Structure 1
Amino acid sequence: MINKATLIADLLNIKHKIRLASPLIHCLTNPISINDCANIVLASGAKPIMAEHPAEVAQITAAAAALAVNLGNVTDARLGSMLISGKVAHEKSIPSIIDLVGIACSDFRLEFAQKFIAACQPNVLKGNLSELKALAGLSNNACGIDVGSSDTLSPDTITMLQTLARKNKAVIIASGPTDIITDGTTTFLGNNGTAELTNITGTGCMLNVLTAACIFSQNIFNGCLLSITILGISGELAAENSTGPGTFRAALLDAVYNMTDEEFANRMKLKKA
């Protein structure tokens, strides 16, 4: 059993640190979601920089507090920059996360992800269950970049993710209706969120960069718990204050920015698996 009050206090402490420190987060993401990614980092209290030119990313990553890379809509230049940045982050012990977008439907992306993880040893591996099954070398039922309907939460799924976390010495975030967060030893399930999060593009990318902000202080596991909870609660609040995808998108950013400690504590739905 977890002490819920202690966990809430620990997570809110990280949340407050982001506001106080305003850490610089280097985000190598895709043009589909880049604006929303920058804005959600700002809403969290951190500062985004979206540099991706291979000639400058080493210097920029070295000056950042955390790194987020994303495999959506990849280009040769961006992939090269990701490797440069990832290696700098690893060498300088700067927390990093990779979003495994599309590796279940693209052998090219899967091979790059494997190369990046081996060379850069990111602290967090994020994806949906189909993508994480692909990384583990298992068959999956991905529908493009979306999770397959039969790739669902089960005891075997949790065991697979725990094994994957231990193998890669990383925290795994499996995003979905129930989020799964594991470092191979400790596993949590997060049940905040709303179906409306799937009705606008880029919410997975937004979770990726938000997680980077939340792990800046080197508390990797709790930073992951914080990010999935913030986004899930913000989705709930946005759904209560919007009339469709357009107003939901704006309300989501507002909810991240305006979330009170009381809202976080009262709505948090985390439990140990």
Structure 2
Amino acid sequence: MINQLLKIKLQIKVDSPLIHCITNPISINDCANIVLAAGSKPIMAEHPDEVEEITALSQALAVNLGNITDVRIKSMMLSGKVAAISKIPSIIDVVGVGCSSLRLNYAKEYICKNKPSAIKGNMSEIKSLCNMDSHSVGIDAGNDDVINANTLVRNSEIVRELSLATGAVVVATGKIDIISDGRKTYSIKNGIEIMSHITGTGCMLNVLIASYISSGRILEGVILGTAALGISGELSRDVKGTGSFKTALLDNLYTLTDESIKESIKLEEVTI
């Protein structure tokens, strides 16, 4: 598995794929920069009259439900359809579906119609997609939905069930991340607490994953994106505060070596 991840990482730097990101204004600049740091090229087009054309030219699509607007609701659906028809790898970040019926209903419709390659959310959001009780605090996972050693297996079952139901690779993010393609399920235990204290890290992960799944290796691309951001966070721990941390995070992803991944990745298969 590790060798496959490293091959994808190199492939992206060599090929510089175009990644179409329909995200929100809160994190759009950070998202563009993290895509560049990975070696890809971002394009952030969101006007409904151009997104189909842009997606068709791209090697992957990332959409994000944060700070939702009528324009992006229309644009994301149009782009998602193009990605599905053209078999362009895509990911949806289901931000806020645990606290907003508008977002939840839209996410379900989007997933049903467009069959994204990957779905990303925190555990509260994943539970909401599964029609289970969840405990969101705004767009954050509630305390009862935290992934830890005691809840890992049960939450892994939920993630796997959503993957089987949708055909997508599903990633549930948290202190422990869970990733499943319905056949195999993995945990990743990289990252540090300060990552939850700056806005946009989840959005950045979404587009970073899009960069790596442009390779066509969806499970491995999701794992690589999740682990790479977590490891880059760990390498950025010796900073003054959240402002310098965000800069260090970009720096460390840009300079992330194969050796750092081999030494630091905390990837395990979950037995369910």
Task: Provide the secondary structure at the position in 1 that maps to 2:195.
Answer: helix
State the shift of 1:199 in Å: 1.2
User: Which amino acid counterpart does residue 103 of structure 1 have in structure 2?
Assistant: V
Q: Structure 1 length normalisation: TM-score?
A: 0.96
**What residue in structure 2 maps to residue 140 of structure 1?**
134
State the shift of 1:28 in Å: 0.2
State the shift of 1:157 in Å: 1.6
1:270 aligns with one of 264, 267, 270:
267
Return the alpha-carbon distance in structure 1 between the equivalents of residues 66 and 146 of structure 2.
22
Gaps of 5+ in 2: none
Task: Provide the secondary structure at the position in 2 that maps to 1:25.
Answer: strand
**What residue in structure 2 maps to residue 69 of structure 1?**
63
**5 Å matches for 1:245-264?**
245-264=242-261
**What residue in structure 1 maps to residue 99 of structure 2?**
105
Identity, % of aligned positions: 51
CA RMSD, Structure 1 to Structure 2 (Å): 0.6
Return the alpha-carbon distance in structure 2 between the equivalents of residues 102 and 167 of structure 1.
21
2:115 aligns with one of 93, 114, 121:
121
**What residue in structure 2 maps to residue 4 of structure 1?**
none
Return the alpha-carbon distance in structure 2 between the equivalents of residues 190 and 156 of structure 1.
16
Q: Structure 2 length normalisation: TM-score?
A: 0.97
**5 Å matches for 1:1-273?**
7-153=1-147, 154=151, 155-240=153-238, 242-273=239-270
State the shift of 1:212 in Å: 0.2
User: Which amino acid counterpart does residue 176 of structure 1 have in structure 2?
Assistant: G
Matched residues, number:
266
Return the alpha-carbon distance in structure 2 between the equivalents of residues 166 and 152 of structure 1.
22
Gaps of 5+ in 1: 1-6
Return the alpha-carbon distance in structure 1 between the equivalents of residues 37 and 155 of structure 2.
33
State the shift of 1:121 in Å: 0.5
State the shift of 1:9 in Å: 1.0
User: Which amino acid counterpart does residue 54 of structure 1 have in structure 2?
Assistant: P
State the shift of 1:156 in Å: 2.0
Deviations 1:54-94 (A, max 9, x none): 00000000000000000000100111000000000000000
State the shift of 1:152 in Å: 2.8
